[in-house]
Structure 1
Amino acid sequence: MKILVTVKRAVDYTVRVRPLTDGSGVDIANAKMSMNPFDEIALEQAVQLKEAGVADEIVAVSIGNSGSQDVLRSALAFGADRALLVQTDAVLEPVAVSRILAKITADEAPQLVLMGKQAIDDDASQTPQMLAARMGWAQGTFACGLTMGDAEVTVVREVDGGTQTLALPLPAVVSVDLRLNEPRYLKLPDIMKAKRKPLEVQPLEEMGVDVGTKTRITHYAEPPERKPGVRVQSVSELIDRLVNEAKVL
């Protein structure tokens, strides 16, 4: 079985980003960059499946500038067998990303595509669903449990009321949530071995995919500061504030 895993280079989750003073973008100059945390979980799941003898090849894919090679080298150190970078300096919308991934998926013909449920930079949570729709494959989103069968994958997914279990025929697209697993720490020998694994770089322009934008971001701004809390003297005062000030009752 071949598993394709998507990984995105994003600002590290420990970094607090701020908008530029003119509101034209986000200031990420000199910011620490790393693999999107949800993608790490997807990659860890793929490696666990390979270690269990279920999968025999893991292909890591990223779309971005040349800096994304660092993320792909990390993916190779995690246990991916080879990597592909679709290189571009453009900022792409989820719909464009799904078109690119659909072409790669058609070319690679994996039985399973594992993806993070969202990227922590835009929090769109749209690409997995769009990719599954373009491929006409079954999809399981927000997975917190995953078990492989002979011709299907059983996915336990997070829903508002708890969890839901789905049996999906292969091939399928699965996006993962935080509770699925805990990614391993990279060891120095694995990092050194990753340097010898194949990493292909393909310019986006050579793919012949329409990546035209449909939306335009007009301004970036920080959310308003949260007002400090207040101490109430009684239950009746609390209810009065909830009704007349917060207007949540």
Structure 2
Amino acid sequence: MKPILLLLLLSSLSYSVATTAYPSIPGTTSVEYAAETDTLIPPRREVYGNGRIFDISHRYSTTMPAFETNDGVGQFLWLPNSMKNGSIANNSEMKLPTHTGTHVDAPGHVFDHYFDAGFDVDTLDLDVLNGPALLVDVPREKNITAEVMKSLHIPKGVRRVLFRTLNTDRRLMFQKEFDSSYVGFMRDGAQWLVENTDIKLVGIDYLSVAAYDDLIPSHLVFLEGREIILVEALKLDDVEPGIYSVHCLPLRLPGAEGSPIRCILIK
């Protein structure tokens, strides 16, 4: 066989194997190898699937707010092993409080005997964290009291509710400084929810579901029965009120009373 013919056959075989092993995926764009002079721009999205999937988790940054500090989260990510410094791969390390950004609370957060007994984030019910959910707008300029809860007229049988408040309008999660004037549940609002609704997942749009003036009392009401799961610091901008399918997954951290969580809404 002539060398040039052999080369053509090998090229054809190589192309055939590549396209069989890596078929094109519907809805995606082919990726070409860029010249070294081209600028690579990674996509960062808030909405996926042609407007069907909403990412309602906040992107972590050094300037996102942290509880009771004006300094923000600060540095939380390091690159001790870098290919630029001779490592065979890039390997990052992360250190941050478990109640940073969009996160979930376990019963051990405010009950020490639950903490000692092991009611951590690894024991949370994923069935509660995933399923049909109602996104509601809370009356502005008010904390969530029993009166406010009554005014929302949330039907019995609704198990998951995300409460969008003035916190979203004020973009508090995009400000570095902690703001104690955020909207949250007062104790009587939490008590009314526990006693008069079927809600088991409570989501809110700032670092705490409880108003600052009722910080511990509201948490105690919510978490005492170990049935309600609190998801805090949700990103609810530009999402219409209504019914969605919510999907939230915390890290499996035995011994931790809180965890970062990734949450999405699907129409």
- Shorter-chain TM-score range: under 0.3
Q: Per residue, is there more strand in 1 or in 2?
A: 1
TM-score, L = length of structure 1: 0.24
Based on CA coordinates, which of the two structures has the bigger radius of gyration? 2
TM-score, L = length of structure 2: 0.23
